[in-house]
Structure 1
Amino acid sequence: MHKKWWVLMAVFLLAGACGQQEETVAVEVTRVERVTAVPPTMVTPAVQDLMLRPTTVTVVVTETPAPPPTPALKELVICQAQAPGSLYLYDSSMLAADSVRHAVYENLYTNIGYAYQPQGLEKLPSLADGDARLQSVEVAAGDWVVDSDGAVVQLAEGVVVRADDGEQVRFDGSLLTMPQLTVDFVLKPMVWSDGTAVTADDSIFSFELNGVSLSFWNADLVARTAVYEVTGDLSLRWVGLPGYLDQTYFLNVWP
């Protein structure tokens, strides 16, 4: 009896196992890793040697030259009745100013002894030597000329001028010739206080400076100058307006 029971149980279990379907189940597997912490590497700072030790230092001393001695101031004593109002060359022609300027500037000419002598000029030009010339030029209406009264005017009908033959004529618009002076000057070699050589261009600058409104000395001569130009390193030419017959033409140069 017991034997049959075990046989039946075995058959029943076998049948159940055969009748059950196979099922696949996904299983999530968690992996656990063990990490061993490594302590950071300890860096030992370098120990500086702070011990003070005697050190040999070589000092190169550059000798500074002594500055040149300050030149002694020079004094100029001028005894005259009045003090100059200005030492500017083209401010005025007062005698008190000229006396001081003679000590400051190189004079192109002097009139010591009541006669003119060249000083900064090689010579005083003259009509006799040919470095001063009186020539005839044609003039037309609108030209700047010097009339018979010595005034600077623009030539127009009715203006009385002196023709090249010396006769006074009233301009009527027709062809007219008038006398004109041309004078050549040559400077002596000179230098400025800093050693720079003086040139004819410096004289042109002086002429232009003399022509500004604040200059009074030689204003009449500037107004009666037709041309003032450089002809060489140390040579200059002055040309007057037609009709201007200057008796001291040999002084018409600018320092």
Structure 2
Amino acid sequence: KAKAQGDEAKISAGMQRLVEEDPTLTYVQDDDTKEQILSGLGEQHLEVAAAKLKGKFGVDINLSVPKIAYKETIRKKVKVQGRHKKQSGGHGQFGDVWIEFEPCVSDTLVFEEKIFGGAVPKNYFPAVQKGLEESVRKGVLAGCPVVGLKAILVDGSYHPVDSSEMAFKTAASIAYKEGLKQADPVMLEPIGELKVTAPDENTGDIMGELNKRRGRVLGMEPASNGITVIQAEVPIREMHDFAMYLRQTTRGMGSFELDFLRYEQLPANLLAEVISSVNSEN
């Protein structure tokens, strides 16, 4: 992140030049956290890149550990009402919906309607859907994006004069907030696929360390003379200082690759800590 506000635009141009000069650096924008991510061979490598950025392009940046892209979902099916009613002078505002929320397998909101007898006129369905689509950007636990959610509009009521698209959009967002609280909301954390290459004599220590970091060791195989590859799955939040640990443990002889694999439910004992850290970042 640039120390001076006006330098944000310069970062991108400068970084592209640095990456061209040094192919071991990578620079991307994270769509989930909206952060600019610089990756390299270790902390020292990144500090040198930051110094070059300042020296060559006059851009001073702060380096910090990347944010973790948590998500939220629900575990229970619920049916809730969202009712929005406002009376002020002339026309009022009125929108009333009953929505069923249930878990499903989808990264985006799945919206359906099962309205009978015109309880909610068809022309308000898109407003209900839009209200929900805007709402799922923020969950009820820590304001993280919500995935795995199906919403079915099943009932409601309207007023021939006071109902409007805006009123139904608001009613849908009221139903969403109430529904998610009742539907056993949980946090999801990203899990990474990890490959560690290290000298044989260090494998016991490394596997113990991965266990401490909530990792699951899947297997080991010899790579070459005296070198072993350890394969594991590890929560990405536990890996921010692993490069330093590995360098110290293997005296610089170890290396690792970490790739995103999937999302899993965050253990309940970490929920309060994660919610607090996400809120302090925002």
TM-score normalised to the size of structure 2? 0.20
More helix by share: 2
More strand by share: 2
| Larger Rg belongs to | 1
TM-score normalised to the size of structure 1? 0.22
